Structure 1
Amino acid sequence: MMTILPHLRARILLLLSCSIVLTLPTAYAQDTPAQAPPQQTKPTPPSPDDAGPDTDNGTIVLKKKKEADEPPPPPAPVAPKVKNPDNETFSLRVDVPIVNIDATVILDKTHQFVPGLKANNFLILEDGVPQTITSVRTTQTPITAVMLLEFAANSYYLINDMRNASYSFFRTLRPDDYIAVVTYDLRTHILTDFTNNKELIAQSLSSLVIPGFSDTDMFDALYETLDRTSRIEGRKYIILIGSGRDTFSKLTLDKMLAKVKSTQNITIFTISTGAMLNEMRGGGGPRELDYLQAQNQLQTFARMTGGLSFAPIFQGELPDIFSQINQSIRNEYILTYRPTNNKNDGTYRKVKVLLVDNEGHPLRMQDEKGKPQKYSVIARDGYNAKLPVE
C-alpha cells in the first residue's frame, strides 16, 4: 500500500475543493430553464376620444378632461351694491316752492309804464313778512284775452256802453294777439273761440244787435270763463265789460271770490257800463245802492287778480282807458322769490308789492322838472300755496 506524503495530501484536498466550487454555478444554470428576453413594443398614440390622463386598474379613476369648446359655467352673480332704480344713488329731494308775481308800475297821470326798475327797488311782503327777491325781468308779449260782455235786454244805454268799450278794445289789438268773445245774459254764449283773425272778431261784435234775456248772471258767466281759461298755459286776461249786476246766478259772491283766489295766471280788467245812466238818474235810493254794490264787486275782482277797474262816464275816456290796460298787459315785471313759508298746506298767502329806495324807504319819482310823480303798483294780492299731493 502506497503511502501518501503529508504535503502531497494537503495539495490534493485543495484541488478537489476548488473543482467543487467551480462546478456548482454551472449545474444550477442547467437546472433553470432559459427565459426569453422581454419584447419591446412601440407605444401607440392615444385616440382623440381617449385624450387626457390614462386610467389604471386601481380603485381610483381619474375623469377625462372636458371638451375644450364647452363654455365654462357662468360666474356667481355679484350682489348689487346699489338698489335704487337705474343705479341712481339715493338722494333727499326737498321741494322748495318758487313764486312768480307779475307786477306793473305805471304813472297815475300819464298811465305810462315805468321801466328800468331793479330787484332792490321792489319789496314783497307775504303775510306781512319781507321776502328775498331772486330775479326781476321785464316782458312785452302778445296777449291772450277773453272779452266777456254783458248782452242782456235790460237797457239800451248799457248795451251802447258795452259796444263802444268792446270796439275800443278791438282797435288796440295786434296781429299776434289771441282773443275770444263771450257774452252772457241768463246763459253764457261763446261767439268766437281764441283767434287772431280780426275779421272774425269784428263779425262777432257786429252780431250783438238783439239781446235775448234781461237776466245778467255775471257770477256764473265769470266762473265758467275762469274755469275754461285756466286750462290754457301762460298768462291770460279777462276784459269784463258789464254793469256788474247779478240776478239769478247759481253761485254766491263768496264762492265767486273763492274761485278768483284759487285761479292762477289770470288777470281781470273790468269796465263798468251805466255810469252815465246813473248820473242822469241823480243818484240816491235803492238804484244807487245797487249800482255801488255792482261797482264794488267789479273792483274786487280786478284788485284780487292785479287788474284795473274803470267806470267811464263819457265815450271819450275809452281810448285812454284801453291805453292804460295795454300798458299794464304788454309791459310788466316778473318778480321771482322763494317764500319763507315753504309749507305746502294749500293756504291763501296775502302778497303786497311795494317800491323802495336803496335805504328801504318808499320810492319817490319825479319828472324832468323835479316835480313828484305819483305811481301805482299793480299786482295780484295773493296766491294759494300748493297742496302736499301736487
Structure 2
Amino acid sequence: MLNLEKKGWQAMRPSYRSLCVFSAIFWAVAAGAFAQPPVAIAPRASTVPKNEVLPKANIRVDSNLVLIPVTVTDPLNRFVTGLDKENFKVLEDKKEQAISQFSSEDAPLSVGVIFDCSGSMGHKLEKSRLAVSQFFKTANPEDEFFLVQFSDSAELVQPFTGNLEEIQNRLTFTQSKGRTALLDAIYLGLHEMKKAKNPRKALLVISDGGDNNSRYTEPEIKNLVKEADVQIYAIGIYEAMAARGRTPEEAAGQGLLTEIAEQTGGRQYPVDNLNELPDVAAKIGVELRNQYVLGYSPLNKEHDGKYRHVVVKLVQPRGMPTLRPFWKQGYYAPAQ
C-alpha cells in the first residue's frame, strides 16, 4: 500500500544521425486514423561501435551534462524522425547552449503503469486493460514495467518486472470501486521509479477524471514532477461536459493531467470514444521509441539548487511543413 510518509526527493535532470531528413508516419491521429492495425515496433539496428559508450539519460549532481528527450511532430501529429543536430537549438534561462550530444536511438525503458480502478471506471475497465496490452506490444526485451492501481488509495500491485504477463494477469482481476486517489498514485509511481535500472523512465497514467481522495496536493505533486527525471503520459477517459453527475474534480481532471504531463515532456491524450483507447496507448508506446535526446553542458556552472527553464527550438528543414517539438521544460541545478 502507499506509504504516505513524505520523503525528500533528490533533484534529477532530464535524459546517429540519419543520412537524410524524412518524416516517418507511425500513427496518424487525424480523423479516421484509428482504424489502422495495431502498431508493432521493431528495434532499430544500433549504429554505435561496440567500444563506444553512450551517455546515460539520468543526470546526477556530479555531472555537468543535461540530457533532454524531445519528440517532434508534424501538423497531422505524426512523428518526425531523421532530423540532425543542426535542426535543434536549446536555450537555458533564455541563453543558447551548445549541443554536445545528440542521439535518436531506441533505448531501453523503465515504465510504470498507473491504472485507475475507481468506481467511475466501471464499464471502461475492459477497454483500459486492452489499452495496456496494446502499449506492451511496443515493448523491447530490455524494458521493465511496474503496475500501480488506485481507487480510495494507491497500491503497488506489481513491482518492476520484465514479464508483461504478470501485469496483465493482475489487471484481469481488477474491480471498479471507491474514489480517486490520482495524486497519491503518481507519487507512488515516482517513488517506485527510483528503483529503475534503465536511464529512460516514463509513467503511463490511465484515468477518467480528477482527484478526490489523495493526501498529497496538486502543488506538492507538481513540484515532485519537476524534480523527477520521468516523462509522464496520460490517457484521459472523460465524460461529456454536460454529463449528469460530473463532479468539479472530474471536470478539472483534463487540465490537471495535461499540466503534469507537458511539464515532463510527455503529453495527455483525451479519449471520448472507448474504442480509441487501445490505439492511443499504442501511439504513446511508439512516441517513446522515437525521441531525440539532446545533451549540453550548461553555461551556468553555479550549483545553487535553482530551477533552470529549458526551451527547445527547431530549425525548420526546407520543404517540410511546420514541425513542433515537445520536451521537458526544465530541471533543478545541483545544490552542491
Q: TM-score, with normalisation over the residues of structure 1?
A: 0.64
Task: Tell me, in whole angstroms, the C-alpha distance in 2 between the residues paired with 1:99 and 1:173.
Answer: 26
Q: Work out whether residues 158 and 242 of structure 1, in 8 Å CA contact, stay in contact via their aligned partners in 2.
A: no
Say if 2:323 is the partner of 1:375.
yes
2:240 to 278, 284, 293: 278
1:196 CA displacement? 2.0
Considering Cα pairs closer than 8 Å and 6+ residues apart, tell me whether 1 or 2 has the greater RCO: 2
1:253 to 191, 202, 218: 218
Distance 1:171 1:315, change over 3 A: farther
Task: Tell me, in whole angstroms, the C-alpha distance in 2 between the residues paired with 1:175 and 1:188.
Answer: 28
2:103 to 115, 119, 137: 137
Distance 1:140 1:155, change over 3 A: closer
1:206 CA displacement? 0.9
Task: Tell me, in whole angstroms, the C-alpha distance in 2 between the residues paired with 1:159 and 1:278.
Answer: 18
Q: Work out whether residues 139 and 285 of structure 2, in 8 Å CA contact, stay in contact via their aligned partners in 1.
A: no
User: Which amino acid is the alignment partner of residue 135 of structure 2?
Assistant: F
Residue 72 (structure 1) aligns with = none
CA displacement, residues 291-326 of structure 1 (integer Å, 9 cap, x when unaligned) = 441101101111011111101112343354234322
Residue 88 (structure 1) aligns with = none
Say if 2:52 is the partner of 1:104.
no
Give the % identical residues: 27
Distance 1:231 1:348, change over 3 A: farther
2:314 to 345, 352, 355: 355
Residue 331 (structure 1) aligns with = 290
Task: Tell me, in whole angstroms, the C-alpha distance in 2 between the residues paired with 1:248 and 1:112.
Answer: 37
Moved more, 123-132 or 102-111: 102-111
Task: Tell me, in whole angstroms, the C-alpha distance in 1 between the residues paired with 2:153 and 2:318.
Answer: 47
Task: Tell me, in whole angstroms, the C-alpha distance in 2 between the residues paired with 1:137 and 1:147.
Answer: 26
1:157 CA displacement? 3.9
Distance 1:301 1:385, change over 3 A: same
Residue 198 (structure 1) aligns with = 164
1:195 CA displacement? 1.6
Q: Work out whether residues 99 and 339 of structure 1, in 8 Å CA contact, stay in contact via their aligned partners in 2.
A: yes
Say if 2:188 is the partner of 1:224.
yes
User: Which amino acid is the alignment partner of residue 258 of structure 1?
Assistant: N
Distance 1:102 1:110, change over 3 A: closer
Task: Tell me, in whole angstroms, the C-alpha distance in 2 between the residues paired with 1:286 and 1:153.
Answer: 13
Unaligned stretches of 5+ residues in structure 2: 1-61
Number of aligned residues: 274
Task: Tell me, in whole angstroms, the C-alpha distance in 1 between the residues paired with 2:103 and 2:277.
Answer: 30
Q: How does 1:160-179 map to 2 (within 5 A)?
A: 160-179=126-145
Task: Tell me, in whole angstroms, the C-alpha distance in 1 between the residues paired with 2:277 and 2:212.
Answer: 27
2:208 to 240, 243, 246: 243
Task: Tell me, in whole angstroms, the C-alpha distance in 2 between the residues paired with 1:347 and 1:231.
Answer: 25
1:102 CA displacement? 1.3
Q: TM-score, with normalisation over the residues of structure 2?
A: 0.74
Distance 1:113 1:319, change over 3 A: farther
| RMSD of Structure 2 on Structure 1 (CA) | 2.4
CA displacement, residues 92-119 of structure 1 (integer Å, 9 cap, x when unaligned) = xxx782211111223342623322x222
Secondary structure of residue in 2 paired with 1:104: strand
Residue 128 (structure 1) aligns with = 94
Structure 1's consecutive aligned runs of 4 or more residues displaced over 4 angstroms after TM superposition are none
Higher helix share: 1
CA displacement, residues 232-264 of structure 1 (integer Å, 9 cap, x when unaligned) = 241111001112411121111111111111112
Q: Work out whether residues 134 and 279 of structure 2, in 8 Å CA contact, stay in contact via their aligned partners in 1.
A: no
Unaligned stretches of 5+ residues in structure 1: 1-94, 357-362, 367-371
User: Which amino acid is the alignment partner of residue 245 of structure 1?
Assistant: G
Q: How does 1:1-390 map to 2 (within 5 A)?
A: 97-109=64-76, 111-115=78-82, 117-208=83-174, 210-211=175-176, 213-233=177-197, 234-264=199-229, 266-273=230-237, 275=238, 277-278=239-240, 282=242, 287=246, 290-356=249-315, 363-364=316-317, 366=319, 372-388=320-336
